[in-house]
Structure 1
Amino acid sequence: MGQAGITSTEINGILGGHQTVDDHHSGGSGSDKPLLLGIVVLLVAYAVASVAGWTTSPKAAADTHAAAEAHHDAALAHDLHDEHADPHAGEAHGDHGSHPLPHPWAVAPFVLLLGSIAVLPLLKFTEHWWESNTNRLIVSVGLAVVTLIYYMTIYEGASMGAAWHRIDHAIMGEYIPFIVLLFSLYVISGGIRISGDLKAHPTTNAAFMLVGGLLASFIGTTGAAMLLIRPLLETNKERRFRQHTVVFFIFVVCNCGGCLLPIGDPPLFLGYLQGVNFLWTMTALWKPWLLTNILLLILYVVVDKFYYYPKEDAENVLRDEVRTTPLRIQGLWPNALLLVGVIFSVALLDPTKPLPGIGWYPFVYLREIVQLALVGLSLWLGSKQVRNENRFNYHAIVEVAALFVGIFICMQPALEILNEQGPSLGIDTPMKFYWITGGLSSILDNAPTYLVFFKTAFPNMDAAALNAAIENTSGSHYINLVAISLGSVFMGAMTYIGNGPNFMVRAIAEESGVKMPSFFGYVLFFSVPILLPILGIVSLVFLL
């Protein structure tokens, strides 16, 4: 690459005078005392509420569920009585009983929110405005409020109760566990530093992705991504062409690597909560996991070695070759142990399932409280110097929190329509489950999308019947669940909004000076031409 033409004087100038883009970003997380104080206050409040009996006990939850079922049965009986009296009553209400479907136009706020995420960063007069998480939150919450107003005013069953039901389902039931888990993994893994500057060869970067793809199933895609994205960026800081490396990292570490265990990716965790055996994903999905990630890593090495790496400036290559330091891991104590604690909290503290061996049902939100307590321990016991050297801050997780609070509310009409009409859409083969689940996971959050099609494939099936059905590897239930699982996990990588870690990695990369592709650029130039053909190969090999 023309390195021989560089003189020793030029070499000294390169090594002594170079300043990377990273140098312009202030590092460190600032004072964590307010956050620690907030966590302590929350823990004390939860303890007081538990002692006072204000937290929902398992028995109360069961009683509430039974009462809700009884109310639903009574409402259904009443509707049937009315239909006998008026044969056309069912037509007027669309045969949806006490839960009428939202009008298709109710998905407009969701479409507008997706459009904002895709378009506002591209427009000159909104580009910098959109960089503020406050402004993102304004747009996100504003459109969520529009959705809730629809449920209070225009919706066929309009009432405050209808709006609160969506808040309870989307925020209390899904968003809070989702964001607390991501926050816990983000903060705790941010206290571990893998430092060093290796030679940024294609195989070196592929090795980072390989390790991340292996870790993703065991510490979650968020944990693996937060642990490895910073050393990957540090290794590549001398290179000019880094965008594609971060995108492939999103493909492998943030998504496709996380399908071996339920803790790897949120959709599979929801399947576990529905009764799927903990190790079913390992036995059923390891072959597609292996093929997908091998193909992605091979393709990355080929693209980087033969297209991007030869385009690097000779000075950048020389700087990268000379400026090397061995890898060093700091902050394993106490953070590695705390990450294990997060994993166990996810696996064991499910309020709908008894703790193994003792039969006690955890209180609602105990899992999230434990995770926040582990965050507090990480901030208290961990090294502040390590976080400062990591240039750790909360910008990326705040961006995810700001956008997804609106996404979870705004997508409720779309999910309700899909949930009701899904069985009538003719989705009855593995290929259909794979591509439709995957396609919707690309634009909806992949966790609730998984759940919708899980319910479509396994209606009214208890855990015992479910596991009996999916253990039969030659049966349709087995292959359909494989298709739903692969589609939701793998195609969460098709867009930035398909999976939470995608956003966080993008934000961290941009803070480090990497100009990441826009929403449309990511789809048009990376996920469609690169990822989609590989996912097509996977479907032909395993789902036909």
Structure 2
Amino acid sequence: MLVAWWSAIPFVTLLLCIAVLPLIPRTAHAWEKNSVKLTVALVLGLPIAAWFTFAGAGIEVVHALVEYGQFIILLLALFVVAGGLFLAGDIRATPRNNTIFLAIGAVAASFIGTTGAAMLLIRPLLNTNWERRNKAHTVIFTILVVANSGGLLTPLGDPPLFLGMLRGVPFTWTFGLFPQWLLVNTLLLITYYALDRRAYADEEPDAIFFDDTQREPLRLHGALNLAFFAGIIAGVAFVPSIDLHALESGHGVWTDAVPWRELLMLACAAGSYFLGSRKVRFEQNQFTWTPILEVAALFIGIFLTMIPALNYLGQIADRLPLNRITMFIFTGGISGLLDNAPTYATFFEIATALPGDPRVAGVPEALLVAISLGAVFGGALTYIGNGPNFMVKSVADADGVETPSFGGYIVASLRFMVPTLTAMALIFLTDGVLWQVLGGVVAVGIVLRAWVIGRSRTPAA
């Protein structure tokens, strides 16, 4: 359906609400309520759905709602199962230990999902650092590393890759993105270690002494939930879902209309919730539904209001200079604004009409690499770029950590994420040796900047 640029106004309005309303004293308290978020999302999104339906493009609304359902059920299942696991203990909150936490999260994110890994690690990470005053940067890097960059290696890791698998990308194809995964996460972890080293040096001596003396070995509670994680992983890898294309073609059968995968995920979530330890979930994890409800409320509006925005993007695609670098920039930049899952789907469909060999699932492989990298890494640029981002922020807020505002987080991501992605893109997405050497120089510069930051203060003894 053809649309004009102004059809994106509801989407931009929703973004402005998310960014501005928490900062205005008269609206900040009301915006904390998920019911208010849902009301705003529906007021802006339902007219779009009605417009497209009455204009004869209701199938686009159906596609958006189905993808929203798949997206939110995957997040819900991982959120509930992760809420039944608790990593107990209190080790020293040193820069080295915190960095190891994030590194483990980066690995886990590709196999239990960025949502599962982020929800599993954010609480013990905050518990470990509760004696420390300077920890907002730890929340930021949990989002950058665990809730986004770590999830590049499998379709389970991040919702965009999950949508790619639904479109025919082999489950194991993303394993080939390991070099990019390794470079980005290594540079982010080096930067985090340096920042945390400086922050650790600024802590009060009493806080460091208390942290050193209040120690308890780490141990995992609620191990039964590992079986439910395995069920979700098996579902993503092997179980089909609704096949809209088969149904639309008129050749589908009744089984194509059944969301088998989502039913399995919901069964795993229900098993975790009702069979798992209530002490682990509610006393140790202090589990609440608030984070997932916040994501569900906001993203129904995002998925609906972005329908015309993505349509308009598709209309002007032939005027865009699309190659590996620009595809990465467009996908990454728009993922931060429009959510990375539907952005991935849009550029995936655009790329099917572009020339190039070899091809994967009908897309030139070089472009599919750029789209995948842009969607996963670009999701870290804002709180709305990827579903787990808001969840991490919500858990940290509930724990009393002063997390950055919507704009403050963007400033932080521009400062730390963009230079890292620049180095990665120059090294892996360009052909000229000089560009690749420049990428290496940028990477070395990031490491040197981290060294300067880390040495700017003498760490506490």
**Shorter chain as normaliser: what TM range?**
0.7 to 0.9
Among 302, 305, 309, the alignment partner of 2:200 is 309
Report the Cα distance in structure 2 between the residues aligned to 1:478 and 1:168, rounded to whole angstroms: 29
Note the aligned Cα RMSD (angstroms): 2.1
Kindly report which structure 2 residues correspond to 1:281-296, keeping only aligned pairs within 5 A, or say none. 281-283=174-176, 285-296=177-188
Q: Would the aligned equivalents of 1:415 and 1:449 in 2 still touch at CA under 8 Å?
A: yes
Q: Describe the shift of the 1:405–1:529 C-alpha distance in structure 2 as closer, same or farther (beyond 3 A).
A: same
Instruction: Please say if 1:123 is aligned against 2:15.
Output: no
Q: Classify the secondary structure of the residue corresponding to 2:89.
A: strand
Question: 2:152 matched to which residue of 1?
Answer: 259
Structure 1 stretches of 4+ with a deviation exceeding 4 A read 359-363
1:296-342 Cα distance to aligned partner (Å, 9 max, x none):
00111111112x11211122111111111111101011x11111101
Alignment of 1:218-229 (within 5 A): 218-229=111-122
Instruction: Select 1:456's aligned residue among 344, 350, 360.
Output: 350
> Which of the residues 355, 374, 387 maps onto 2:268?
374
- Alpha-carbon contact 2:336-2:378 (below 8 Å) kept: yes
- Corresponding position of 1:55: none
The reply to whether residue 238 of structure 1 matches residue 131 of structure 2 is yes
Q: Indicate whether 1:518 and 2:405 are aligned.
A: yes
Deviation for aligned residue 1:459: 2.4
TM-score (normalizing by structure 1): 0.74
Determine the structure 1 residue equivalent to 2:442: none
Give yes or no for the alignment of 1:341 onto 2:231.
Answer: yes
Matches within 5 A, 1:66-77: none
Of 209, 213, 216, the match for 1:325: 216
Preserved CA contact (<8 Å) 2:132 2:207: yes
Question: Does the 8 A contact of 2:169 with 2:361 survive in 1?
Answer: no
CA distance in structure 2 between the aligned counterparts of 1:360 and 1:143, rounded to whole angstroms = 34
Find the residue that maps to 1:276 and give its secondary structure. Answer: coil
State the distance in 2 between where 1:196 and 1:342 align: 27
Matching residue within 372, 381, 385 for 2:279: 385
Question: Matches of 1:146 and 1:447 in 2, distance apart?
Answer: 22
Matched residue of 2:272: which SS?
A: helix
- Following superposition, the deviation at residue 468 of structure 1 comes to 8.5
Matched residue type, 2:182: L
User: Percent identity among equivalent residues?
Assistant: 46
Aligned residue number for residue 416 of structure 1 = 311
Aligned length: 420
Structure 1 letter corresponding to 2:390: F
- Distance change (3 Å), C-alpha of 1:281 and 1:396: same
Secondary structure of 2:316's counterpart equals: helix
Match of 1:144, as an amino acid? G
Counterparts in 2 of 1:347 and 1:423: CA distance versus 1, 3 Å: farther
Are 1:198 and 1:324, in contact at CA under 8 Å, matched by a contact in 2?
yes
SS in 2 for 1:195: strand
TM-fit CA distance, 1:469: 7.7
Measured after TM superposition, the shift of residue 102 of structure 1 is: 1.5
Confirm whether residue 182 of structure 1 aligns to residue 72 of structure 2. Answer: no
Instruction: Please give the alpha-carbon distance, in whole angstroms, between the structure 2 residues aligned to 1:492 and 1:106.
Output: 23
Q: Is this contact kept in 2: 1:349–1:362, CA < 8 A?
A: no
Matching of residue 492 in structure 1 with residue 379 in structure 2: yes
CA distance in 1, matches of 2:405, 2:361: 45
Deviation (angstroms), 1:368: 1.3
Measured in 2, the distance between the counterparts of 1:259 and 1:148 equals 32
Unaligned stretches of 5+ residues in structure 2: 247-252, 431-461
Amino acid at match of 2:297: A
The 3-state SS of whatever aligns with 1:411 is helix
Return the offset for 1:369: 1.4
Amino acid at match of 2:146: V
Aligned to 2:454: none
Deviation at 1:290, TM superposition (A): 0.2
In the alignment, residue 420 of structure 1 is paired with which amino acid? Q
Q: Which residue of 2 aligns with 1:297?
A: 189
From the superposition, tell whether residues 288 and 386 of structure 1 become closer, same or farther in structure 2 (CA, over 3 Å): same
Using the size of structure 2 for normalisation, the TM-score is 0.87
Q: Residue 200 and residue 453 in structure 1: after superposition, are their counterparts in 2 closer, same or farther (change >3 A)? A: same
Q: Which amino acid aligns with 1:378?
A: S
Paired with 1:235 and 1:542, the residues of 2 have a C-alpha distance of 37
Once residues 148 and 183 of structure 1 are traced to their aligned partners in structure 2, the CA distance between those partners, rounded to angstroms, is 24
Contact map agreement 1:422 1:453 (CA 8 A) in 2: no
What is the DSSP-based 3-state SS (H/G/I as helix, E as strand, rest coil) of the residue aligned with 1:496?
A: coil
Q: Write the distance in 1 (CA, Å) between the matches of 2:48 and 2:362.
A: 38
C-alpha distance in 2 between matches for 1:146 and 1:119:
22
CA offset at residue 533 of structure 1?
A: 0.5
CA distance in 2, matches of 1:320, 1:309: 11
Instruction: Kindly name which structure, 1 or 2, has the bigger radius of gyration based on alpha carbons.
Output: 1
The whole-number CA distance in structure 1 between the counterparts of 2:42 and 2:200 is 43
Within the alignment, does 1:365 sit opposite 2:252 as a pair? no
Deviation at residue 423 of structure 1 after TM alignment: 2.8
